[in-house]
Amino acid sequence: MSTIKKPALGRGLSALLQDHGSDIMNKEHPSRMVGSISMIPLSQIEANPFQPRTEFEKQALNELSESIKLHGIIQPITVRKVGIEKFQIISGERRVRASILAGLNEVPGYVRVAKDQDMLEMAIIENVQRENLNPMEVALSYKRLIDECSLKQEELGDRVGKDRTTVNNYLRLLKLPTEIQIGLRDGKLSMGHARALLAVTDPNEQLRLYEDLLRENLSVRSIESLVKQVNESDPKPASKNANALNSDYIKHFETIQGQLTNHYQLPVNIKAKAIGKGEVIIKFNSESEFERLMNLLQS
């Protein structure tokens, strides 16, 4: 059975593709020329090195394969010619994979010319518009366009038909901790969840909220509420006025904070907002700890 030949990974654009001069008419098979639709052997087709989709759902592929067995390929794939009897997929890798499962030896393909940047752009545009890419696949694809094709966000938005805000929202996902990015890729949280978590600057807090999300199956609104609480509890920069905290005053409260922590055997946090103002927070993790704390406070 034929397989899609995958190019080596980890190389730059120029190393992944052969000379553009190989985008030529097939002299041995004149019917396979640029601009035509031809029946192309699967053994001569290799995957697009710029394919943004990294995972193909097995069940969906099997269903498409059964459909192809009954009806054939309705929509030809698009390829570029990169050598004698050698083609690279521009769009349609899912159809090619399903055709292999269906036992086909050849598929109809539209042959066209494409340079490196064109290949990447067309693969992303075709997939974003026709496939349900997960948010991380979209984000990584957008970043490749910016980094490897030297596009600005405005130019990228024009290429993929998205406004700058939408493009920026996807690119910001790459700032999340790896665990959250994987969860987003695997569908454990939505784009809305991820955008809410981005409002927290501390990666550790992001991970803590993510764990709460998974454990309690929290909605986007619930996460936004928790994020708001986290941000409101963060100490604000001291104002530059007569009541501004000086270093000695801060050290004084740090000393008292340590003494209270030792006394209650619980985490104590003193937040001094200005001279004579602030709050004391004592955290407990169980009912028994709370009861012990109340007894100590009342003694």
Catalytic residue among 93, 121, 126, 137, which? 93
Q: What would the DSSP string read from start to end of 6-42?
A: PPPSS--HHHHS--GGG----SSSTTS-TT-EEEEEG
Q: How confident is the model at residue 153 (pLDDT cuts 50, 70, 90)?
A: confident
Give the single-character DSSP code of 5: B
Spatial separation of the C-alpha atoms in residues 234 and 261, rounded to whole Å: 19
More confident residue, 224 or 287: 224
**7-11, 22-26, 125-129: lowest mean pLDDT where?**
7-11
CATH class of 13-133: alpha beta
Per-residue pLDDT, averaged over 252-259, amounts to 69
Answer whether residue 284 shows pLDDT above 60.
yes
Task: Round the average pLDDT of the chain to a whole number and report it.
Answer: 76
Q: How far is CA 238 from the centre of its chain?
A: 37
**56-70, 147-161, 202-216, 222-236: lowest mean pLDDT where?**
147-161
Per-residue pLDDT, averaged over 109-116, amounts to 76
**2-16, 39-53, 253-267: lowest mean pLDDT where?**
2-16
Q: Which residues contact 34 (CB under 8 A, 6 or more apart)?
A: 23, 24, 25, 81, 111, 112, 113
Work out the percent of the chain whose per-residue pLDDT is above 90. Answer: 24
Q: Where are the domains of the chain?
A: 13-133, 176-233, 247-298
**Phi, then psi, of 273 in degrees rounded to 5:** -90, -30
Is 46 an annotated catalytic residue? no
pLDDT for the residue 241: 45
For residue 274, the tally of other CB atoms under 10 A from its CB is 14
Q: What would the DSSP string read from start to end of 263-292?
A: HHTS-EEEEEEETTEEEEEE---SHHHHHH
Considering only CA atoms, give the Rg of the chain: 29
Architecture of the domain defined by 176-233: Orthogonal Bundle (1.10)
Spatial separation of the C-alpha atoms in residues 121 and 200, rounded to whole Å: 32
For residue 122, the tally of other CB atoms under 10 A from its CB is 19
- Does 176-233 match 13-133 at the fold level? no
Answer whether residue 190 shows pLDDT above 80.
yes
User: Are 92 and 78 spatial neighbours (Cβ–Cβ below 8 Å)?
Assistant: yes
More confident residue, 109 or 9: 109
Q: Which of 23-37, 47-61, 110-124, 212-226 has the highest mean pLDDT?
A: 212-226
More confident residue, 28 or 168: 168
pLDDT for the residue 265: 76
User: Are 131 and 54 spatial neighbours (Cβ–Cβ below 8 Å)?
Assistant: no
Answer whether residue 139 shows pLDDT above 70.
yes
